Amino acid sequence: MSSTTFSTSPWNVNQLPGAEGRVFLVTGGNAGIGYFVAEQLSATGATVVLGSRNPARAEVAMASIRARVPGSRVRAVLLDLADLSSLETAVESLETERLDAVVHNAGVALDDPPRQETGDGHELMFGTNHLGHFALTQWLMPLLSAAPAARVVTMGSFAAKSERLDLDDLQSQKDYEPKRTYGRSKLAQMYFSVELDRRLRAAGSTVASVVVHPGGALDSLTPSRPPVHVRTAGARLRATPAALLVQGKHAGAWPAVRAVLDPAVRGGQLWGPRVFGLRGEPRREPVWDHLADLSVAARLWDASCDLTGTDLGVISG
């Protein structure tokens, strides 16, 4: 498929539009792709809030952003997506009357067994990556609805493209394999994003939900931001061949940043890197076939409501 499919107006990742007066929340904004989403959004003049479960790491990330973006308006709130009972307090601590966008970026990825659970008894990756963001959205909705055209931007993963949900074993209780469970947790997030937008449209809401993915984003191709991230010369050299296919986490942030800022982006869309969905500037791509399955999305939604005790108000049905 041509990279010009779904072409939009020119977009320059190095020359972002101003967003003075707007407020953005980035979950997991203290490290990885989330850090670069926060750094790039800070350059627009917006207030950027890092949602982080580790205050010390958040302080380090804020110092790095302030050093690179003079005059940046960046702050942090304590946010632990694995603790559902803490989310209402986290949203109250935002101390803002409205929220123009949230980037659901934070995530846990485990490489090895054993299966772990959150304090609420949910499988750790599904519970944090999907259920935590699902419940957080409930508490954020009044602030998002108070903005003129807010965005809920959900960070999916290319790893989810080959996965399918097992609706009878969402928490991998019967069959746990870490990489597959991670991919399915990200797929659940992406289903949530698409279904959320469908329900927002049906409710006549001004809030839009957009799903993005970073393609292939490697630490070894990511520019240093000491002490948040330090890339050695050796790691950079070893990764040079991979740069033909994938990219660094600074570039992995581009689809999310565009989804927050570009007025041409619409709810229900999927955005990812231009080249084979793995690297390059952000572009709209067709929604993956399995993500368009409304019955799976509805069943996941209902299960998520039950598991979190959440009812997303006017968009619950």
Instruction: Pick the catalytic residue from 35, 176, 182, 191.
Output: 182
Q: Where would I find the beta strands (DSSP E) of the chain? A: 23-27, 47-52, 73-78, 101-104, 151-155, 208-212, 217-218, 247-248, 270-275, 279-285
Q: Is 253 helix (H, G, I), strand (E, B) or coil?
A: coil
Q: How many Å apart are CA 249 and CA 177, to the nearest integer?
A: 25
Task: Note whether 282 and 272 are within 8 A (CB).
Answer: yes
117 bridge partner residues: 123
Q: Encode 26-53 in three state secondary structure.
A: EECCCCHHHHHHHHHHHCCCCEEEEEEC
Burial track 50-64 (b if 16+ CB lie within 10 A, e otherwise): bbbbeeebbebbbeb
d(CA 240, CA 22): 38
Length of the chain: 317
35 catalytically annotated: no
Q: Which residues are catalytic?
A: 182
